[in-house]
Structure 1
Amino acid sequence: MRVLHVITGLAAGGAEQQLRMLVARSEVEAEVACLTNPGIVADAIRADGVAVHHLGMRGNTDLAVLPRLASLIRRGRFDVVHTHLYRACLYGRVAARLAGVRSIVATEHSLGARLLEGRDPGRPGVRELYLATERLGAVTIAVSRAVADRLAGWGVPEHRLVVVPNGIDAHAFAFDPEARRRVRAAHGIAEHTPVVGAVGRLDRGKHFDLLLRALAEVPDAVLLLVGEGPQREPLTALAAQLGITERVRFTGESAAVPTLLSAMDAFASPSESETFGLAVIEALAAGLPVAYASCPALAELPSSAAPQAHAIEPDTQALRAALQTMLVAGRRHEPPSAVTRHDIAEVARTIDRIYERTAGGEQVAATATQEGGRHG
């Protein structure tokens, strides 16, 4: 079986890294097509031995990408097309149908309560376009039950929805003392300096401004902020305004998140509109205590599955108190059961079965999923 994954772009991000891990562990023959921005994840996927095609899309309304993508699908004789992220889902489903492929799987990674990949999901046309193209596919995978509920609320029929949570390679995130020393030295951080970490795209929805304000009230601690995005300059300016420029390290986009996590002592995720909370699960895999405002991956589990993870209100004072508590404790933990429940190898096996059933014309959402059956 041959599968073509279609994704909007391949800069470092949760959906993009998830795709890389999925392709590496899948038993099917796969290639990847990105509509635009083939970033560092594209390089990593190619290094894994998987072909990556860049379609050169020039903007959201560049319809010329459709015949290029349809031609790629026909030439590659793909049995299944699997789309990821909003723009790729719109164009990928249409192109697959133009190429004569009806076995179309989509994964919805980023439909939050208030944002859809930076878009307002209530903006005219956003929902309508999504629903119109969703009907062209065979099944839509939601990365959490919260996402599945939102899709159902949009009008996606429940018989077309299946929940398959994101996965991680827990071994890759194991604490590495040598990496800790190396990263701290590279960023000018002393061995015993307390380090708070955060990972994510630097946009408004992540609320990293709250984290900077909290850090200003935690003397001596350093923030290691991993990611890139449109809020880089405003956050840099805020750090200067708060007088903490020397205590904030912006690493930029990085494919070495496991290594960077080893340099941290505590982790914070102030975003209140996550669709899964992959960064939180990765931090737990690294043995870090975590404070988070939203993490559907944990909301669907008992609190005993991640005792070192603490839900907080998304405000400065709650973050400050959580950071102080975690840094005073100052110890790493064994990865909790919440981590082992999200093994990427099992996720890949589940999705491979979805491909087989979709290609065979089965109604996939009526079958068992990794997390205990169909949505609902």
Structure 2
Amino acid sequence: MLSVYEGFFSGGARILHSDVVRGLAEGGQSHQVLGIHSEVHREATRQRMEDDHCYRALTADGVPVTSLGRSAGLVEGAVAANVFSGPELAETARSMAGADVILSLKEQPLALLNQRGLPRRPVVVCLHRSDPENQGPALDALKTAIADGTVAACVCCAESTRAAYEAAGVPRELLHVIPNGVDLLRFRPDPVARRAVRAALGIADPDPVIVFAARYAPMKNVPLLLRAARAWLSRESGGHVLMCGAGMTPGNSALRADLEVAFAGEPGLADRVRPLGVRHDMEALYAAADVVALTSGSGEAAPLCLIEGMMCGAVPVTTDVGDSAEIVAGHGFVTPSDPGAIASAWSAAVAGRAELAPALRRSRERFSRTRMIAAYATLLDGVHTSHLARTDAYGGQGALWSIRLPDERAMGEGSPR
């Protein structure tokens, strides 16, 4: 298997996909990764491939990772996104030649995989959003690859993803839902980590804590989060809001401006909003929190932060975006995009945390990484088997795939929601 990434930078889709690749490799499949970019500048953060936590985890597990060496978002590295040089195509062809199936992390890498002259391999596209219309030329690249017969299947991490891409014109038979899962040994309530993180941040044991894990991007609606934080902190004298992710740092001028606007007239409240940047100990931060918050207005499908936070004992409070409402049903709160309503839900979540804990514990198997990886393995085995059958029957010729996969319920799609 070859996974093609747009690049290595902070984000839930890359964390999830890298975990899937590692899990499939642990199960005996041979995997490698090709990144189009080796460096990106986004969310006010310069992110090098070699510094990325996913890159380090993959290579530590023996998964080879190579790159075309491009830079994105940097003036000195500006290259036309869909124009590839001869050496870049040669490197891509070498990587593809040894693979039976190609995984595309979202639809953006299809701009590369659609280039003429590359080896013909079945492609499985892993989709992680619910707004294909906002993906620019990437949706057209996906449709081109489907029309060409290159795409054998699409993995959707949520029902909202499948519905959105079907509405955008992707044939339903190509769309297979495999809900996100996490490592339950890593993401679990941890009283020791809870005390340690709070002590390190100077937060007293009884003080309520909200964690907001997101990159600094318009879809995450950071201004709404901060307006809700002001409303909540004004009545929670011991409360704290922790912000984690790319761009969630004091050095981000846009975030500083958001803070100034949200806390105008009450700058003292902003002292209890802690921008912590990219963290690699999220399980400890979630364990230290009482609530995991999401205020996104679009784009989300099955937000990893809600699942990880819940599994660590934090109560989820989210806007109704993607599959978020289904994910937190019975475990947390869904709010309108109103700062007062969000602040009230945070208070209710803190007060009801003990009562919600049994339901969170009972839901753990539903969000299992093991279940998710087994479903990916089943789908990929089906794609490979179909590819071999077509090669035998037609000598590798023909434009359209006909994939008959096992019942989706057995692949995890029928898990309780």
Instruction: Kindly provide the amino acid, as one letter, of the partner of residue 124 in structure 2.
Output: V
Task: Give the counterpart letter for 1:94 in structure 2.
Answer: N
Residue 11 (structure 1) shift: 2.1
1:133 partnered with 2:153: no
Structure 2 residue 98 is matched with structure 1 residue 88: no
Partner residue of 2:93 out of 66, 70, 81? 70
More off after superposition, 174-183 vs 226-235:
226-235
Distance 1:99 1:147 in 2: 29
Q: Answer yes or no: is the 8 Å Cα contact 1:225–1:249 preserved in 2.
A: yes
Question: Cα offset for 1:262?
Answer: 1.1
1:106 aligns with 2:125: yes
User: Where does 1:1-376 land on structure 2 (aligned, <5 Å)?
Assistant: 3-26=1-24, 27=27, 28-36=29-37, 37=39, 38=49, 39-59=52-72, 60-64=81-85, 65-74=88-97, 77-91=98-112, 93-94=113-114, 98-110=117-129, 112-113=130-131, 120-121=134-135, 125-135=137-147, 136-218=150-232, 219-220=236-237, 221-229=239-247, 232-241=252-261, 242=263, 243=267, 244-273=269-298, 274-294=300-320, 296-297=322-323, 299-300=325-326, 306-329=329-352, 331=354, 333-334=357-358, 335-361=360-386, 363-364=402-403, 367-369=406-408, 370-372=411-413
- Alpha-carbon distance change, 339 to 101 in structure 1, aligned in 2, over 3 angstroms: farther
What is aligned with 2:392?
Answer: none
Contact 2:229-2:343 at 8 Å conserved across structures: yes
SS, match of residue 201 in structure 1: coil
Per-residue Cα deviation, 1:165-220 (whole angstroms, up to 9, x for no partner):
12111221111122122222332323332111111111111112212111112233
Q: Secondary structure at the match of 1:138?
A: strand
SS in 2 for 1:29: coil
Mapped partners of 1:9, 1:230: distance in 2: 20
Letter in 1 for 2:212: A
8 Å Cα contact 1:162/1:365 also seen in 2 = no
Q: Which amino acid aligns with 2:192?
A: E
Deviations 1:40-75 (A, max 9, x none): 21112212222111221234234134332122222x
RMSD, aligned α-carbons? 2.5
Counterparts of 2:67 and 2:138, CA distance in 1:
25
The residue identity in structure 1 corresponding to 2:406 is: T
- TM-score w.r.t. structure 2 length? 0.78
Distance 1:300 1:197 in 2: 20
Q: How many residues align?
A: 357
Q: Deviations over 1:85-121 (max 9, x none)?
A: 2322332x326x74424221111112x34xx5xx834
CA contact (8 A) 1:159 1:365 kept: no
What is the CA-CA distance between 1:222 and the residue it aligns to? Answer: 0.8
- Equivalent-residue separation in structure 1 for 2:20 and 2:385 (angstroms): 21
User: Between the two proteins, what is the percent identity of the paired residues?
Assistant: 24
Structure 2 counterpart of 1:223, one-letter code: V
CA 1:46/1:235 → structure 2, altered by over 3 Å: closer, same or farther?
same
Deviation at 1:79, TM superposition (A): 1.1
Q: Distance in 2 between matches of 1:50 and 1:126?
A: 27
Q: In structure 2, how many angstroms separate the alpha carbons of the residues matched to 1:316 and 1:356? A: 47
How far off is 1:84 after superposition? 0.5
Checking the alignment, whether the CA contact within 8 Å between 1:266 and 1:290 is kept in structure 2 is: yes
Q: CA deviation at 1:337?
A: 4.5
Higher alpha-carbon deviation: 220-229 or 357-366: 357-366
Contact 1:277 1:295 in 2 (8 A): no
Aligned partners of 2:63 and 2:318: how far apart in 1? 35
